[in-house]
Copies of this chain bind each other. A is one copy, B any other.
Amino acid sequence: MKNSFDLREHDTYLNIVDVAERLFAGVGFQKTTVADIAHELHMSPANVYRFFSSKAEINEAVGRRLLSEIETTVGDIVRQSDSARQRLREIVIAIREAFAQRLRSNRKLFELVETAFNENWPIVHEHVEKLDKSLGEVIAQGAREGEFHVSDPELAAMLVRSACLQFCHPRLMLEREQEPEPTVDQMIDFCLAALG
């Protein structure tokens, strides 16, 4: 168990992330400096640097929180008692809706996530790995219970996620809005057909 010193440190860490997220939502992450964040928290920039070695690390921490909210939603769906087919559909729809909702509620925070994907930040890599793990669990269950005919659930998870990329990728969602695209339900039906 953490001692009280560690807890206080952890609180400060969380405060920095909270304040950074608020400032990012207001003026954008590119225009927010470590000095701005320190100022809001009535602390010195040097103190912020005790927790984050660079501004980029703060960006990643805020981005990670946004993506982990999506991962939690996906995890909740994995544990539901619906059929595997139904859960796969719900997962992709939930991810798309989470990005769309972020876009509607705060364009500037959405830009942070967009940039993370554009520049391939490590948090995106982690996010994709977690997503694959969740999809893989559902597919493996579906395979055990005869819903799918799949011998490699891990590979199948990557294939479903890749096939649904335009619904799980912030910039692609925007970019492909005007194209005559399949709907998310059509794409899921296609994937479910492939899973047999």
Q: Tell me the A residues contacting B by CB distance below 8 Å.
A: 117-118, 120, 125, 128-129, 132, 155, 158-159, 162-163, 165-166, 172, 175, 178-182, 186-187, 190-191, 193-196
Q: How many subunits of this chain does the assembly comprise?
A: 2
A195 proximity list for chain B (CB < 8 A):
193
A117 proximity list for chain B (CB < 8 A):
175
Residue in B166, B175, B180 whose beta carbon sits within 8 Å of that of A118 in the complex: B175
* Complex alpha-carbon distance, A178 and B172, angstroms: 18
Residue in B155, B163, B180 whose beta carbon sits within 8 Å of that of A158 in the complex: B180
Q: Given contacts A182-B155, A193-B193, are A162 and B175 in contact (CB under 8 A)?
A: no
Least CB distance, A97 to chain B, in whole angstroms: 18
- Give the top 8 A-B pairs by smallest Cβ distance, nearest first: A194-B194, A163-B163, A193-B194, A159-B190, A190-B194, A158-B182, A159-B182, A162-B182
Question: Helix, strand, loop or mixed for chain A's interface?
Answer: helix
User: Which residue of chain B lies nearest to A191 when distances are taken between CB atoms in the complex?
Assistant: B194
* Complex alpha-carbon distance, A132 and B179, angstroms: 11
Q: Given contacts A186-B155, A190-B194, A191-B194, are A128 and B179 in contact (CB under 8 A)?
A: yes
A158 proximity list for chain B (CB < 8 A):
180-182
* Complex alpha-carbon distance, A118 and B108, angstroms: 19
* Complex alpha-carbon distance, A172 and B7, angstroms: 41
* Complex alpha-carbon distance, A191 and B193, angstroms: 9
Contact A190 B175 (CB under 8 A): no
Contact B162 A181 (CB under 8 A): yes
Least CB distance, A130 to chain B, in whole angstroms: 13
A-B contact pairs, 24 of them (CB 8 A): A117-B175, A118-B175, A120-B175, A120-B178, A125-B179, A128-B179, A155-B182, A155-B186, A158-B180, A158-B182, A159-B182, A159-B186, A162-B163, A162-B166, A162-B181, A162-B187, A163-B190, A165-B165, A165-B172, A190-B191, A190-B194, A193-B193, A193-B195, A194-B194
